[in-house]
Amino acid sequence: MKSSVIIFPGSNCDRDMAIALEKFGFKNSMIWHNDTRIPKTDLVVLPGGFSYGDYLRTGSIAAKSKIISELINFANSGGLVLGVCNGFQLLTESGLLPGVLLRNKYLRFICSNVYLNIKNKQTYSNIPYAVFVDQNIVNHSDYIFFNLKPPISENEYYPLLVKFLKKFSMETKLQILFAVHPKSNMLKLPNLLKGIKYTAGNTAELIKNSNMVLLHSSTSISFAVLFNKPAVFLTSNKLKNSWIGPSIDNFAKTLNSRVINMNNDLNECINLQNLSKFDEGKYKNYLDQYLKVPNSPNAPLWEIVIDYIKHKQL
């Protein structure tokens, strides 16, 4: 199969794209934006980068290039077009895709992977365990960008959390594994966690092999949904009255999961059987709405695209 990559002034991922296409068996050619003809090809790719330095509006100047009219004709005649990053923005500016892209509220870009499967990873514990998902709630570096104050102090948070987690472990007979947030200060954790085992860089694997997930409002709830693990949301009097309180409640409501107040519920017995249940319908809705297109393959996007191109009748 043949592919073509269009280069614009400011493109910086065109060579990477060419190498990737050739790796998957495409015979690739490079097209300059001022060319007026697209060679016979099965796929045209608009690569990432900063076409024309993103001046005026991202992709808007590049959308006036000479090659774009040919690209539109190619697409309208049934040709396959792939826009990546800046290339996707160009698709909207050229009218090949409807709508416009808007700036996000906080003008910050957040990129995180959501893995649909974990391959060749062994279990981290030989005994049943629950994962607590840390989100560096007392000292997250993003607070400064969002003009937020920590919802609770370190001195208030960790003694209460540790007391609850140890009670939870004792009454449920589940070991607690503390999944460290990437921005947490690892040097302080031994003193703060008072013997609770912690580990970093393997949250997805921990959740996949766990019996249960404990958390506040971490987006790692996605892993609990993907792997069908019961989730219990933890709050406290201080957290409930802070800006993070509604977020905890909304996550729990969306998944129909239990919320435990670490202050008020410390004296109550923890019933593992009740906590081990989860709402399959709510989990399925969350999966379909936020994590992956319904009935799509459990594979990375690039594999899905390449497979589609290879098997499409051209």
Measure the CA–CA gap between 252 and 218, rounded to whole angstroms: 11
Is the model's pLDDT at 143 over the cut of 90? Answer: no
Is the model's pLDDT at 298 over the cut of 90? Answer: no
For residue range 76-105, what is the model confidence (pLDDT) as tens digits?
999 999 999 899 999 999 999 988 777 766
Residue 113: strand, helix, or coil: coil
Q: Which whole number is the average pLDDT over 49-75?
A: 88
The backbone torsions φ and ψ at residue 228, rounded to the nearest 5 degrees and listed phi first, read 55, 55
pLDDT value at residue 55: 78
- To which H or E segment does residue 95 belong? none
Q: Which of 17-21, 140-144, 179-183, 276-280 has the lowest mean pLDDT?
A: 140-144
Distance of CA 249 to the CA centre of its chain: 21
Measure the CA–CA gap between 229 and 51, rounded to whole angstroms: 44
Is the model's pLDDT at 129 over the cut of 80? Answer: yes
In contact, 20 and 286? CB cutoff 8 Å = no
Domains defined along the chain, listed by start: 2-102 (3.40.50.880), 129-291 (3.40.50.2000)
Measure the CA–CA gap between 302 and 314, rounded to whole angstroms: 20
Residues 6+ apart with CB under 8 A from 119: none
pLDDT value at residue 115: 55
- The model's confidence at residue 112, banded by pLDDT at 50, 70 and 90, is low
Q: Which whole number is the average pLDDT over 178-184?
A: 93
Strands 197-200 and 175-180: parallel
Q: Which whole number is the average pLDDT over 182-194?
A: 91
Q: Which whole number is the average pLDDT over 280-306?
A: 83
Residue with more model confidence, 252 or 294: 252
Q: Which whole number is the average pLDDT over 147-165?
A: 94
- The model's confidence at residue 52, banded by pLDDT at 50, 70 and 90, is confident
